[in-house]
Structures are given as structure tokens and as C-alpha cells.
Amino acid sequence: MHEYSIVSALLDRVDDAVRQHGATAVHRIRVQIGELSGIETELLREAFAVVRARTASAEAELEITAIAAQWRCCACDQIVDRGHRLSCPECRTPARLAAGGEILLERVEMEVP
Amino acid sequence: MCETCGCGDSDVVSVEIQESILATNDHQAAHNREHFVRDGILAINLMGSPGSGKTALLEATAAALGGDRRLTALSGDLATDHDADRLRAAGIPSLSITTGSACHLDAKMVHKALHHTPWDESDTLFIENVGNLVCPAVYDLGQQANVVALAVTEGEDKPLKYPVMFRKADLVLLTKVDLLPHLPGISIERIAAALAETMPRAAMIPVSAVTGEGIGSWIEWLEAERLGPGSHDAVGLPDSMTDEMKV
């Protein structure tokens, strides 16, 4: 389970923003987590609840937007359905993951005196 | 202080970041990659379940190459130096990265270990990741290619159960194929079909570290990879599959 190291990296980045803006507390952290990112959102929440103690984010809410996986053709951008071979039904080009790989810190809401 | 009305309350500011949570690791991985590219070293991140045969595969690779290539290896394990000991005995200068409770290697661990390895005297660096089919897939180490060892004993639907690992794989080595005569329920074609659903450029080589089957094809793959990523259109899935099933 690597969600603790993900949360640790997340809080390091949030701390940078806190320092940069001279914030006294973090209210909300918004992240995007893709279905095929390898991060379990429930485990991420649990890890966040533990690791946030004694940081500027101790009272912060973690808002997770889950992003569904979507494969598209590399050449013609057509959607490639899951449950089938991951190549374009039209032109046979291999698919690319167009959405669902996100491990993204979107936004931090902080209290600034 | 709130500047709107002078009430003394703090302002809440919303700051847009839009950055990967793993940006620090990605930055370190890019640094590792610069080293490898500059010195012409092919770096392979070898992943797979515990017991999938990663170490045996590297032993067989070293034996088949017989000194034609200068190999080094980093071996990630929660505890013990056993894998690195085995690889050194096989003639591959190797170092253990003991991760304690961490379930994966990250770019910083690899960078630190490189300082204690004669990697720059080699032309191929194998990073044998911690045996785990989930977490290692998340962390870029600076490798050129991800290779996943999948043993025939692990079951045909492993790629469907662990799609994150297989979507990141550039090559799957189907290991322990010498055991197939004892596994009447296991079909290489069904494993390949599961890979085709999870790996956009599905490529699989069946290998056996015991009989040496497929090791030559794997070495050919490595030589093609040396020419640059994506030189493997010809590998695909095994010839036994129909054209319809091939990706």
C-alpha cells in the first residue's frame, strides 16, 4: 500500500504553497485521482486522516474527484471500449489512456491572515 | 486581515496548483533518466509479483549473454540481500535496496543506490523492483522500459485483475513456461487475450529460466530497445495466436 507515501508527497507540496502564501491553515485540498492511476481513493482518505495531524492541513478536508478511465485511438481519437482489445476498432492503431491516469493536485484553499 | 470590511477575519484564498502529486519523484526520475541517456545505458524497470521469477530471469539472462554485455542490477526487497547475492553470483554487479516496509522503489532510492553501484561502467541496468503487482507501477524511476514478469502459475486473468501494472508494461515476460505440461488448465492464448485488453501495445515473450526457452528472444528485445523505445512492433503476441487476436 503506497497511499501513505502519496499523502506524504501531497502534504509536502501543500506545505510549499502554505509557506509561499504565508497561510495559517489549510481548509480544503482538491485532488483528481484516475481509475487506472494505481491509487485507491478510500485508502488515500484513510492515509490522509492519519498523516495530516501536526501539519498545516490538520483540519483540512480532502476533496477527491475520481476520474473514470477512458481509452482513445492514438490516431483518430475514437473512443476504444474497455473489455476488448485496446486498439482502435476502425484503424487498428493502439489506444492511449486519455483519462483515468490522474494523480493530480488541483487546488488548495488556505487561510491567509 | 480581511481587507473587504476590516473585520479582522482571515481571508480564505484558493490557489490553483494543477501539478502531479508525484512531481518530486518525477523530477528525480527525469534526472536519473538524463544520466542513463547521457551514458548510453539501457535501464529496465523489472516488475512482477513475489515469486514471479524476476531474479531467475536475470540469472538466465546473464548466463545466456556470457559476458557480451556489461550488466548491473539494483534489487529492491523489504528485507534481506538474497536477490543481490544471487545476481552477484551470476556475474552481475548488484546492490540491494532494502525498503523496510515500503512496497515499491522510488526514483530517489534508485538515485541513492546508483552512487554505490558501478552502473556507469555498464551498458545495461536492471532495476529489479519489489515483488508487488500494484505499487511499483505508480513510480517512475527513470527507466527506459517497464518489463513485467508474469509466471504461468499466477493465473490467466492476472492482467485483468491488475490493469494498472499491465497498462504501464512495455513487455511482459511469461515466465516458468517449462511448467505448462503440469498445468493443463492454463492457456497461453487466454493470457495473451487478457494482456490485449490491458496493454495498448501488447507484447509478450514466453520464457523459461530453467530450459532457456525464450531467453534468446528476450535478449533480442533488449538489443532492439537499445536502438530506442518503440522498436518492437515485430514482437507483439506469440505466433501461436491468430492474427485476429494479435494487437
- Rg of chain A (C-alpha set): 18
In a domain, B74, yes or no: yes
In-domain check, residue A33: yes
Q: For residue B197, give the chain A residue with the closest CA.
A: A85
- Report if residue B131 sits inside a domain: yes
- Asked if the model's pLDDT at residue B222 lies above 80, the reply is yes
Assigned C-alpha cell, A38: 494505481
The count of structural domains within chain B is 1
Q: What is the pLDDT of residue B247?
A: 36
* A29 lies in some domain: yes
Q: Please report, as a single letter, which amino acid is at residue A40.
A: E
pLDDT category at B244 given cuts 50, 70, 90 is very low
Residue A7 lies in a domain: yes
Determine, yes or no, domain membership for A61.
yes
Contact yes or no for A38 and B102 at CB 8 A:
no
CB–CB of B25/B103 below 8 Å?
no
Domain count, chain A: 1
Residues 6+ apart with CB under 8 A from A75: A88, A91, A93
Query: pLDDT value at position B228?
Result: 83
Domain that holds residue A35: 3-68+99-111
Residues of A in contact with B103 (CB under 8 A): 1-2
Of B19, B135, B163, the CB nearest to A36: B163
The residues that bridge with A33 in the sheet, in sequence order, are: A66, A103
Mean pLDDT lowest among A40-44, A51-55, B4-8, B204-208: B4-8
B216 part of a folded domain: yes
| Residue A32, in any domain of the structure | yes
State the residue range of the domain holding B49.
Answer: 23-226
User: Is B13 contained in some domain?
Assistant: no
> Looking at the domain assignment, is residue A92 inside a domain?
no
Which residues have a Cβ under 8 Å from the Cβ of B203 and sit 6 or more positions away?
Answer: B170, B171, B172, B221, B232, B235, B236, B237
Please tell me which residue, B119 or B27, carries the higher pLDDT value. Answer: B27
Report the alpha-carbon distance of residue A20 to residue B101 in Å, rounded. 33
Q: Is the ipTM of this complex over 0.85?
A: yes
How high is the mean pLDDT of chain B? 91
Q: Do B104 and A94 touch (CB under 8 A)?
A: no
The yes-or-no verdict on residue A17 having pLDDT over 70 is yes
Instruction: Please name the residues between 208 and 237 in chain B that touch chain A, using a CB distance below 8 Å.
Output: none
Query: Which of B1, B7, B19, B21 to probe by mutation at the A interface, max A CB count within 10 Å?
Result: B21
Which residues in A lie closer than 8 A to residue B200 (C-beta atoms)?
A: 71, 86-87, 94-97
- Average of pLDDT values for B180-192? 95
Residues of A in contact with B12 (CB under 8 A): 27, 109-112
Confidence of residue B120 (pLDDT cuts 50, 70, 90): confident
Which CATH number does the domain housing residue B71 bear? 3.40.50.300
Residue B239 lies in a domain: no
